[in-house]
Amino acid sequence: MMEILEGSHAVAEAVKRCRPQVIAAYPITPQTHIVEALASMVADCELDADYICVESEFSALSACLGASAAGSRVYSATTSQGLALMFEVCFNVAGMRQPIVMTIANRAMGAPLNIWNDQQDSISLRDAGWMQFYAEDNQEASDLHYIAYKVAEDHDVLLPAMVCFDGFILTHTYEPVDIPTQEEIDAFLPPYNPVNILDAKNPMSLGMYATPDYYMEFRYEIEEAMKRSRKIFAEVGAEFGETFGRDYSGMVEGYRLDDADTAFVAMGSICGTVKDAIDEMREDGKKVGLLKIRSFRPFPSEEVKASLAGVSKVAVLDKNISLGQKGAVALEVKDALYGTGTEVLDYIIALGGRDVRKRDVRAVADLAEKGIGDRFYGLRTEVL
């Protein structure tokens, strides 16, 4: 049913329909509205979950790990410093192969303290073994939760997933969102069917230590599961499309790319602005397009290479920076395009919530046309 919902509430409604049995979360702006909404649903008996009011994000994810290991479907949400506080547990959850789904309301990392949006937080956890999906709008943000659970819990995957959407820009924005019925989601997403759980009737040890004789093989298994998740994501995304009319089979999505000379590459809510700017530039006769990255982990290198095959210049809009190098998305795109001769220019943009307008996208296109890239876009040099 189509409803006008705040982004956070659209996500909470989706999470509710995924029927998590245990929720553990700690409030942090701009994630708070999600967990408040879920707490209300539990309080009103609309959602049959145990809601653990933990004392920190560290404990939130630790409690999720325990609940998952004991056989329950679990959920958490966080952002920025909260995600940083979970750092150690994030690696542990992936290593212990618990298919936990967590929403990230993307927010800048301090210092300086900043509550507004960029994607530095989740990008900084890119190597933890979690799948990372990025949403352009609130419809996609809510839909990706159904898909994330189904992919994460697939016995060929068994990896945790982050569903990332931009703080404030999406979390606090009201948009029309189609929320499927509980019956429809029940038909799409079966109950959690764990492989190995803590059970006194069948004792086993979980989370043991491994010497050099075994550790590397555990890491290899995680990497192989990541590779298998590509196919599972495509299948689940296609199935979702057949059922609900919104196709998520692609880990990337092209917009007016077919005859483009210059292509933007971006993740998250900025893609909407870029699409509008592209429409304007197209009217001016400029052959520009967009490649939206929906899955950052696993990174769809083959799809990126195929999608950008006919393009001469690529302008990556990175809402993050790997300090001492470039933006993280640009590095991935460069790797994907290695050997093709396509020029990849990187623009660090909109850090800490700075607004991006259509004219900024057009300005980036102009810079890219001149071959000027690999820089912060929109720096206020007068305050440096």
Binding footprint of another protein on the chain (CB under 8 A): 21-22, 24, 48-50, 52-56, 58-59, 62-72, 74, 88-89, 92, 96, 198-200, 202-211, 214
Nearest distance from C-beta of residue 54 to another protein, angstroms: 6
Yes or no: say if 23 and 51 are a contact pair by the CB < 8 Å rule.
yes
Nearer to another protein, 26 or 233 (CB): 26
Q: CA angle, corner 221, sides to 158 and 235, nearest 5?
A: 45
For the CB of residue 265, give the shortest distance to another protein in the complex, in Å: 36
Smallest gap from Cβ 291 to another protein, in A, equals 38
Distances (CA, A) of 233 to 134, 149, 156, 199, 225: 14, 11, 11, 30, 12
How far is Cα 66 from Cα 60, in angstroms, rounded to an integer?
10
Nearer to another protein, 191 or 324 (CB): 191
Minimum distance, C-beta of residue 13 to another protein, in the bound complex (Å): 21
Give 310's contacts (C-beta < 8 A, 6+ positions apart): 258, 259, 260
- 10 Å CB burial of residue 264 (0-12, 13-18, 19+) is buried
Handedness of CA 323, 326, 329, 334 (dihedral sign): negative
Residue nearer to another protein on the CB measure, 219 or 227:
219
Rounded to the nearest whole angstrom, what is the least distance from the CB of residue 160 to another protein in the complex? 13
Give me the least distance between CB of 188 and another protein, in Å please. 22
| Helices marked H in 154-198 | 182-188
Q: How far is the CB of 99 from another protein (least distance, A)?
A: 14
Looking at the Cβ atoms of 125 and 349, the one nearer to another protein is 125
* CB nearer to another protein: pick between 71 and 378: 71
Q: How near is the Cβ of 26 to another protein at its closest, in Å? A: 10
Q: How far is the CB of 77 from another protein (least distance, A)?
A: 16
Give the chain's length.
384
| Nearer to another protein among residue 206 and residue 379 (C-beta) | 206
> Phi, psi at residue 301, to the nearest 5°?
-55, -45
CB of 146: closest distance to another protein in angstroms?
Answer: 21
Query: What CA–CA distances, in Å, run from 142 to 11, 353, 377?
Result: 5, 22, 30
Q: Which is nearer to another protein, 60 or 265 (CB)?
A: 60
Question: CB of 11 within 8 A of CB of 41?
Answer: no
Nearer to another protein, 51 or 240 (CB): 51
Angle, vertex CA 64, rays to CA 300 and CA 211, nearest 5: 70
Q: Among positive and negative, which fits the CA dihedral 236, 240, 241, 247?
A: negative
CA distances from 175 to 54, 106, 293, 353 (A): 31, 18, 22, 20
Complex with another protein: residue 54 or 115, whichever CB lies closer: 54
363/255 Cα distance (integer angstroms): 19
Q: Which is nearer to another protein, 202 or 381 (CB)?
A: 202
CA dist 171 and 8 (Å) reads 5
Cα–Cα dist 359/378, whole Å: 11
